[in-house]
Structure 1
Amino acid sequence: MSRWAWQRLSYWVELVFFYEMRSTMKWLCLMLLVGVGCGATSARSDKSLTECEGDACSPAKDASNPCLDGDLRACNTLGWAYQQGDGVAQSDEEAARYYALSCPSPEKYDDYGCGNLGYMYESGRGVERDYEKAAHYYGLSCDRKMKASCFSLGIAYELGRGIDADHKKARELYEFSCTAGYGPACTNLGVLLIRGQGGPSDPKRAVTLLQKECDEDNNPWACGSLGYAYNSGLGVQIDRCRAKELNTKSCDNKQNPVGCANLGDMLLRGDCGDPDLERGKELLSKTCDENNRGCSSLGILYRDGKTVGRDLARAQELFEKGCAANEAAACLRLGDFHYSKGDKEAALHSYRRGCDAGRPAACQKLAENLGKGHPDYEATAHKACGFGAKWCPED
């Protein structure tokens, strides 16, 4: 499960508080609204939400259904009921239909309903998956300062999913949601602060954010990222045993790929204990296969012939897989691999990707190979230095 998928669970916990279905009277109203126990059924078109137009998108007119009288919040509440199967037969299609009715236009919409519709399009529930539409509806909801939707829009900007990638915009959105008290956004903000994406790196603040999320919310992504910080000395003194403890906690929590990959790497090196090559390889193989995490360290095993037969082609394949998933270490190793083969252009491309993903050594090698006369040299060199690398350009 990805960082963004796991954190999406918090999205629903955040929203459920706001839905008007918790008091007995409101629940009875909802029962009447959808016809439960009243001998009625919810009329609907057989067309999909993305195909229907006008009245075909609406259930049959019913005086007991305030959604059809223009109560957009009631439409959202109905969508939530159908999505959860709460008092009605669970139906993602009906949920998406009612969420769409709650978000009919950019001029008039329910802020929660648009955020929920964005989620349906992002996850492909009840509608065909469409990241562009997901970003659009998250944007409408975020325009009204809905912190969960701003968080989801930040993910879209971070990944370039349905919208042009923009780490600066992602960072601004995470900052807003985190300040508003939305914990998962604090974790994502911490990761960008460590990597120096979207603005200057700030490892100390990142550690503060990640520590809070790991301790208070037991967020496995926060714990794993904090483990990386302790293992790398980013914002804190290097403490291998503390790093191992945090990565183990993260890995044990739903097999979080960041924690498991970090732990696998530590087991290979024997950090804070004896090496355990087989267990390390097992963890890395699983996270690389399922989540594209740890591919770099697994590739090193094949490159160096540790616990497996030496296989440079397999090593390159793993480095490429990890780099394609923005695993910074994999991009660095792939750059080294290309450089050793004399392919400087491919090496620079990989180093640049690793640098953009927050790997100081990749920035350093990119700067050194670009040379002082290159227009990108100064920015790249100072980025490496700003990340906390031991190397900094000479003045």
Structure 2
Amino acid sequence: MNMIPDNTPPALRTRGLRLAASAGLLALLAGCATSHTDSAPQATASVPEQYQDWFDGGRAHNLEWMHKQTVKKADKAIAAGNPREAIRLLGLLTDKDFPQAHYELGKLYDQGKGLERDPAKAARHYAEAVRTPSYILGHASLNLAKLYRAGDGVERNDLLAYHLLRQAIREEVGRDARLMLADLLVEGGEGVKANPERAAALYAKAAEEGHEEALLALAEAHGPGGWLEEDPARAMDYAQRYAETLRQRASAGESEAMIELAELHAPDGVLGDQPERRLHWLRQAAEAGDEDALSDAGNALLEAGKTRQGLAMLEEAAKNGDVDAMTQLGRALSERRPGEARRWLEEATRQGSLDARVSLGRLLLDAESGATDPRRGIELLEEAAQKDDPLALAALGDHYMNGDVSATQPYIAVDYLKRSHELGHPWATQLLGTAYLEGRGVSADPQRAEALLRDAADQGQSAALGLLGQAYLEGETLPLHPSRGEELLQAAAEAGETSAMTTLGEAYLAGPLEARPERGLSLLRQAAEQGDGYAMVVLGRAYRKGEGGLPRDLDKASRWLSRARDAGHESADAAMTRVNRDLGAQGNIEALVKAAEAGDPGAMADLGRAFLEGKGVQQNAAHARTWLGRAAKAGHDGARADLGEMLLDSDPERAVTLLRSAADRGHQGARLTLGRAYLEGGPVAADPEQGVAYLRPAAEAGNPYAALLLGQAYLAGQGVEADPEQAEQWLTQAVESGDVSARANLGRVLLRGEGGVPRDGERGRRLLEQAVDQGHAGAMATLGREYIRGDFLSQDVRRGADYLLQAAEQGHASARLALAKAYLAANGLKNASREQALLWLDGVMQGDSAMASQTLHELLSDDEAIQALQAEGQAASG
């Protein structure tokens, strides 16, 4: 008890009481505490009237010496563990308004010595002690200020706490009044203005008085983000002085000082992140007998990445019977060694740990743990939930909303989440916000969702910021607001949320945010390096497609997707298959085989075509049929069209079935093949009308080859009534689509006026020459014949021979035959066989091209050769 020492002479004791009382009265008279107005510089309101007598000097009081023996007896009763007797004795004195008796009773109820703590009763007795000035006025004021500052047993009141603390300081109690007042003035309170400078002065004075906590407060104040001007040197000086006081206590064997020294070297400690020093002091504390230090050291090692040592230390603490260490060890082992984790959590649960019960329940519901036991997991969590454990309620809500081991039940989930949210668990608040966002288990309510998610974020759930940001980017459940989404995702990413990094990185590469490929790549790589499988997939896709200004790089895409597959991301295989297919299109047949063997229909079709055409592999019709057949069976229309065309000669019935299936689903290639087949007949019975029916939709869709075939059909009246106008229209459409064959065909028709199409020699010649420029051998042959005949073009046999020679060099059959016959005529060998002539022509043309051209020109200058060419031209035209 705070009493004047018993060995003080009575005269001095009385004098001390009088001086104490006088000091209090003088202070009151000087205006340090007012009756009606508050002259204190930081107070923004008057002291309420009902508390004025705490500060007005009070009424007369009984002297302590008169009741000395009664107080001593009460003191002995407390020491003997008989608080009831102490209360009785002190009650005799409180009836006489003796302030010390009220103070001692206040302490008894405040500290709960031998009886249940009752801060409300403590506050009432402290208030009575404060009303009467005495030597314990300062102590009573300080104790009462603490209760009002914390709202402990009384309603929190910063203004009263402020005045009580000032009164305690004036009374020079020599305790932590300056510290408390400094704490209050750092940020201020209701009715009290903040005054950081005054707070710093109070801390400095408290430090002089030996309060080491003041040194720590000043170190933090001058450190990064502190409430005073940042001053690293000053902050470190205060931190070192504080550490020195702790080291002195630690050297005396005080484990609490060792623990505090360890905290100074934590990542957020004022001496900076020094894992080795932190671990040193935790070990010292453990050796000094601190039961929690060993497990704290184990956790520190885990945080520092020293997993093996951390687990070993936790295991040592657990084997020593530390139940919290068993729980922490179980949690740490959950992903690494779930079976061992379960054993430790089971043991901690048997020893009554509620935290272990919850952790074990969650482990048994984790589908990836290998220790799944849903029934027991739910039982354990339900037992904890019955005790209103907020984490257990949140875990049950998560299980019923998103569980992997049983069917989801969103409505039940929401009930658990609401209970946990009401108990203040931020994870439950986030999950509940997500439920309102998605409308799962509750009606969708974007405003409620946003409020809950922001609440969760304010409580440290940075993932909630990411969820909000993503919702604003998507613009589905919340209004589209890209800039707000970007801001929220950035905040979540800065807090270390890998999913937010991935979402933001993807948005910078593929939209909807403005393209920032370098920033997007940086975020995605950061998330990927932290193990986010989806970030790896996004990187793979981005390099595959060349998104966001990235260069297309299939090798990089393959590397990232391989990592995503190794990380177990479910979409990695499908994305990798597409990359392999793209690599196959670039000639990497091994990659194409991998994609095909993985079951990708497009890759199977590509591999079938490769075997069909001999591209990258040896041509093999059987393999082509196999892979095209597998792709067709998987629903690939292109494969059905290719296989159908391939089988037209050998298996027309199956071919038509495949082609019709693809054509009915809109595949233009299948429509073209069927249209041509029905027009020409052969493998299938000719059906020109059916052929035109297949060609028309493809031609109307803009397919130039379909337009060409349809134009030819109208020209010849094949399957439709001959219609020169329609013929020219479709052939023109094919020409405008860039089809060189259509250009050659329409040029010939217009040059000669075939099929009733009005003749347009100039346009026809121009189209034929354009086709020649594009390398069309038929156009070369047509121009050659026409120049030789001279019917539709001014006769120029030499020029015509040039065109025929070009056509022959490209393998055009009729051009080659015309040249061969001209050779026979020029050399009087009309009876030589056609085969001999063609062999001669091949021999000439395979030699030097310039010499071949000169030789042929010389041969064709003969009149008989010219006549032969003219006759051949007439025959060909006929």
Q: With the length of structure 2 as denominator, give the TM-score of the two structures.
A: 0.27
Whole-angstrom CA distance in 2 between matches of 1:293 and 1:282: 15
Determine the structure 2 residue equivalent to 1:270: 753
- The 1:291/1:313 distance shift into structure 2, 3 A limit, reads closer
Provide the C-alpha distance between the structure 2 equivalents of 1:167 and 1:299, rounded to a whole number of angstroms.
Answer: 41
Q: What amino acid is the match of 1:135?
A: A
How far off its partner does 1:287 sit?
3.0
1:309 is matched with: 796
The code of the aligned residue for 1:150 comes to R
Say if 1:199 and 1:31 are closer, same or farther in 2 by CA, change over 3 A: farther
Alignment match, 1:64: 567
Letter in 1 for 2:566: A
Aligned residue for 2:605? 115
Residue of structure 2 in register with 1:99 after alignment: 592
User: 1:142: which partner in 2?
Assistant: 632
- Structure 1: distance between partners of 2:779 and 2:542: 55
Q: Secondary structure at the match of 1:242?
A: helix
| Residue 684 (structure 2) aligned to one of 189, 193, 199 | 199
SS of 1:103's partner is helix
Shift of 1:64: 3.1
Is 2:673 the partner of 1:188?
yes
Match of 1:365 in 2: none
Per the alignment, residue 240 of structure 1 pairs with 724
Structure 1 counterpart of 2:579: 78
Is the Cα contact below 8 Å between 1:190 and 1:210 reproduced in 2? yes
Aligned length: 283
| Higher deviation after alignment, 298-307 or 167-176 | 167-176
- Inter-partner Cα distance in structure 2 for 1:342 and 1:172: 51
Quick check: 1:252 aligned with 2:733?
A: no
Task: Provide the C-alpha distance between the structure 2 equivalents of 1:224 and 1:114, rounded to a whole number of angstroms.
Answer: 31
Distance (Å, rounded) in 2 between the aligned partners of 1:252 and 1:114:
34
**Aligned-residue offset at 1:236:** 1.5
Q: Deviation string for 1:49-101 (max 9, x for gaps)? A: xxxxxxxxx967952366999x5x45433346x56xxxxxxx95598654321
CA distance in 1, matches of 2:650, 2:776: 23
Query: Equivalents in 2 of 1:37, 1:227: separation in Å?
Result: 44
Matched residue type, 2:594: L
Question: What is the identity, as a one-letter code, of the residue corresponding to 1:276?
Answer: D
Alignment of 1:196-345 (within 5 A): 196-215=681-700, 217-253=701-737, 255-270=738-753, 275-288=759-772, 289-305=774-790, 306-307=793-794, 309-310=796-797, 314=802, 317=805
- Larger RCO: Structure 1 or Structure 2 (Cα < 8 Å, ≥ 6 residues apart)? 1
- Give the corresponding residue for 2:536: 32
One-letter code aligned to 1:32: M
- In the TM superposition, residue 191 of structure 1 has moved relative to its aligned partner by 1.3
Q: Secondary structure at the match of 2:718?
A: coil
User: Does the CA-based 8 Å contact 1:302-1:314 persist in structure 2?
Assistant: no
Question: Whose Rg is larger?
Answer: 2
Asked whether the 8 Å contact 2:659–2:674 carries over to 1, the reply is: yes
Deviations 1:99-120 (A, max 9, x none): 321223xxx7333321134456
Letter matched to residue 100 of structure 1: V
Deviation at 1:210, TM superposition (A): 1.4
Letter in 1 for 2:673: N
Give the distance between the partners of 1:344 and 1:172, measured in 2 at CA. 46
- After TM superposition, the score normalised by the length of structure 1 is 0.55
2:608–2:624 CA contact under 8 A, matched in 1: yes
Task: Map Cα deviations across residues 281-327 of structure 1 (whole Å, 9 max, x no partner).
Answer: 332244355344545533432442434522575565566578x57xx
**CA 1:123 to 1:199, structure 2 compared with 1: closer, same or farther past 3 Å?**
closer
Deviation string, structure 1 residues 352-371 (Cα, Å, up to 9, x no partner): xxxxxxxxxxxxxxxxxxxx
Paired amino acid for 1:287: A
State the partner residue of 2:186.
none
Is the CA contact (8 Å cut-off) linking 1:34 and 1:41 kept in structure 2? no
Using the TM superposition, name which of 205-214 and 311-320 deviates more: 311-320
CA distance in 1 between counterparts of 2:815 and 2:651 reads: 20
Contact persistence 1:178–1:186 (CA under 8 A): yes
Distance in 2 of aligned mates of 1:209 and 1:37 = 38
2:675 alignment partner, SS class = helix
Q: Structure 1 112/273 Cα, relative in aligned 2: closer, same or farther at 3 Å? A: closer
CA 1:115/1:220 → structure 2, altered by over 3 Å: closer, same or farther?
same
Cα distance in 1 for residues equivalent to 2:794 and 2:672: 35
- Bigger fraction of residues in helix: 2
CA-to-aligned-CA distance 1:189-232 (integer Å, 9 cap, x gap): 111222223222211111121122212x1211111111001111
Query: Where do 1:355-394 residues align within 5 Å?
Result: none
Where do 5+ consecutive residues of structure 2 fail to align? 1-505, 511-531, 544-554, 839-878
Structure 1 residues 275 and 30: alpha-carbon distance in aligned structure 2, compared to 1, 3 A threshold? farther
Counting aligned pairs with the same residue, the percent is: 21
Work out whether 1:128 is the aligned partner of 2:611.
Answer: no
Which residue of 2 is the match for residue 361 of structure 1?
A: none
Instruction: Work out the CA distance in 2 between the residues paired with 1:187 and 1:296.
Output: 27
Letter in 2 for 1:114: M
Q: What is the CA–CA distance in structure 1 between the aligned matches of 2:819 and 2:587, rounded to whole Å?
A: 52
Whether the 8 Å contact between 1:220 and 1:249 is mirrored in structure 2 is: yes
Amino acid of the structure 1 residue aligned with 2:593:
A
- Residues 291, 37 of structure 1: alpha-carbon distance in 2 compared, 3 angstrom cutoff: closer
Kept after mapping to 2: 8 A contact 1:32/1:38? no
Conservation of the 8 A alpha-carbon contact between 2:536 and 2:564? no
Paired residue for 2:643, among 149, 153, 157?
Answer: 153
Structure 1 CA distance for aligned equivalents of residues 563 and 536 of structure 2: 15
Distance 1:308 1:166, change over 3 A: farther
Specify the SS of the correspondent of 1:290: coil
Tell me the SS of whatever aligns to 2:775: helix
Report if the CA contact (8 A) 1:257-1:287 is conserved.
yes
Q: Judging changes above 3 Å, is the alpha-carbon distance between structure 1 residues 259 and 41 closer, same or farther for their aligned structure 2 residues?
A: closer
Amino acid in structure 1 at the alignment position of 2:662: S
Q: How does 1:42-53 map onto structure 2 within 5 Å?
A: none
Equivalent pair of 1:171/1:198 in contact (CA under 8 Å): no
How many Å separate the matches in 1 of 2:684 and 2:577?
37
Distance 1:343-1:198 versus aligned 2 partners, 3 A rule: farther
